[in-house]
Structure 1
């Protein structure tokens, strides 16, 4: 997921916790750059970075993070990243020997952040697996309801490099998704689910479907349908009700700027 990655905001996957928007704006020394979390994670750690930052490598990662979210991995040029940071392309290559290496660094950075955010969303210390799954899908829906949400960065990376299975972005996406699935299996096992790995497999399949279908249709009701399906899967194992719908206010359609009654946003 990003749920993964995190690719990745909700109170409960910043893609931002506490209602912090992952679509805040930041100004760099080269002008204003919109800060969109590639995985919905709050961008505050990056917004504090400017031209005077001592860590040039992290500034490069921050600029790549911003631009890749906006235009995609392949459409983001090394020249554009260097300009955004305020350095020469030669300086950039002193820190990263290729664009692929830079993309790998961006995704590695996001993996740790997104996995931690997913764990926060699910609140594994909750009263039981039903509450944990309810929290997870509710947070996902809130994340996907953000006006500039563009899906999971890890899923997008896998799609963009579909013809390059050995590309660092593809490998990073695979590692992230596997890590999320493994963590979810452990969390479910801690709640006494005997076939936790199988259930985790089924839940991440639902989540990944949400990543793609919500992005295609801009309709977060897919998340609620997936949550209900996850509840059925859980109930078959435990008899426990696993999903409680929450009334949500209507927000603004991200594409047209008009109220959209076809789906409800948090």
Structure 2
């Protein structure tokens, strides 16, 4: 497969997964009113997605090496599709929280494994260019998920936005299945080797410092996003559309 086709396939899944991850934040107020909950409670949907997304990645790394990164991506996108499709019909906040946890864990198999696949399949001389093109798709997905989800939610409702996210992930899943058909397993799953590698990384003080700073940075930057829509509504600054444009300013600046 050419690097161009590889990036097109991976960019599709990267865009769809990041769109679905960022789409909820500008719709907090709309979802809260529809499900009879409080904005403070619905805002926690972001954490319900983000934490499984982060914690599943160290697990999926060794699994991807053993079963094949392409195969793990297909399963992850299929689970993300099912979680989003069920979210369209979520009757209450508790069900939606459960589905967002599943969706977050499944989305964690898209971006990291895509970056690893680029490292495996693209030669060193062109790898940085390939990574930059892929990350552009991811950033655009974040921008679209934040900006357009809020605007669309006022037109078609939050369930309509979840329907759009489901369609996007379905297209990404189809592209991945077709593009990576016949993919071979990676190798043998070795839990002990994986644990030793993680132990070596965590024993490095610089790595611990880096992880800690990134954790604090993520809380400081992304922690406010779910509360922007309720704060704007409370102060008469607008609704989901305005919140989406405000949240979309970060990936646009990036």
- TM-score above 0.5: no
Question: Could you say which structure has the higher helix fraction?
Answer: 2
Structure with greater contact order relative to length (CA < 8 Å, sep ≥ 6)? 2
